[in-house]
């Protein structure tokens, strides 16, 4: 499915069961809880509810829990993967892998901790020869927590 076939109209939101159809990730690395809206070929907005029960908090850091920045970026990449699959009009099939292959301009502006809700916005900026480029932000309470330009690729499984 491409932008022309959707007419730029947003799909409905996605709950966790629908997200599991589009991402091969499972606990403890699944980092998208809900999709608020998606316009295939354009953009997506998703949520990650950060709880004290996250497996990384006991070690990062015990007296001041902070979500690792690399996991905030991973949440943005997973959100981008959903957008890519929605844009292609397909779901993961075991015959290919959606790889996260690059990060540019990553910046971390605000720590993310237990009780925070990440609102992740991802926009598709390019898609050529199986290379997908996205611009992504993650906000907490309307304040920018992180931003990055992401590069992903879909490749056949080895």
pTM of the model: 0.92
Give the integer Cα–Cα distance in Å for 85 and 108. 27
CB atoms near residue 107 (< 10 Å): 11
Per-residue pLDDT of 67-115, as tens digits, reads 999 999 999 999 999 999 999 999 998 888 899 999 999 999 999 999 9
Q: Which domain holds residue 152?
A: 3-156
Burial grade of 4 (CB within 10 A; 0-12, 13-18, 19 or more): exposed
Per-residue pLDDT of 41-77, as tens digits, reads 999 999 999 999 999 999 999 899 999 999 999 999 9
Catalytic residue among 17, 25, 60, 64: 60
Domain harbouring 71, CATH code: 3.10.129.10
Domains contained in the chain, number? 1
- Tally of CA atoms within 13 A in the half-sphere of 1 that contains its CB: 21
pLDDT of residue 9: 66
Per-residue pLDDT band for 37 (boundaries 50, 70, 90) equals very high
pLDDT of residue 46: 98
Annotated active-site residue 60? The verdict is yes
Please state, rounded to an integer, the average pLDDT across all residues of the chain. Answer: 93
pLDDT of residue 96: 86
Of the chain, the percentage scoring pLDDT greater than 70 comes to 94
pLDDT at 152 over 90: yes
């Amino acid at each position: 499915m491409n932008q022309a076939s959707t007419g730029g109209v947003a799909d409905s939101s996605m709950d966790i069961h629908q997200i599991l159809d589009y991402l091969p990730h499972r606990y403890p690395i699944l980092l998208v809880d809900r999709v608020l809206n998606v316009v295939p070929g354009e953009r997506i907005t998703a949520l990650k509810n950060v709880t004290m029960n996250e497996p990384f908090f006991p070690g990062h850091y015990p007296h001041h829990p902070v979500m690792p920045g690399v996991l905030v970026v991973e949440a943005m990449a997973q959100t981008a993967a959903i957008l890519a699959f929605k844009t292609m009009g397909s779901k993961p099939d075991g015959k290919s892998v959606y790889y996260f292959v690059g990060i540019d301009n990553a910046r971390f502006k605000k720590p993310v901790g237990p009780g925070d809700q990440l609102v992740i916005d991802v926009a598709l900026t390019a898609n050529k020869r199986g290379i997908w480029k996205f611009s992504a932000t993650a906000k907490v309470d309307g304040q920018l927590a992180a931003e990055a330009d992401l590069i992903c690729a879909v490749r056949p499984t080895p």
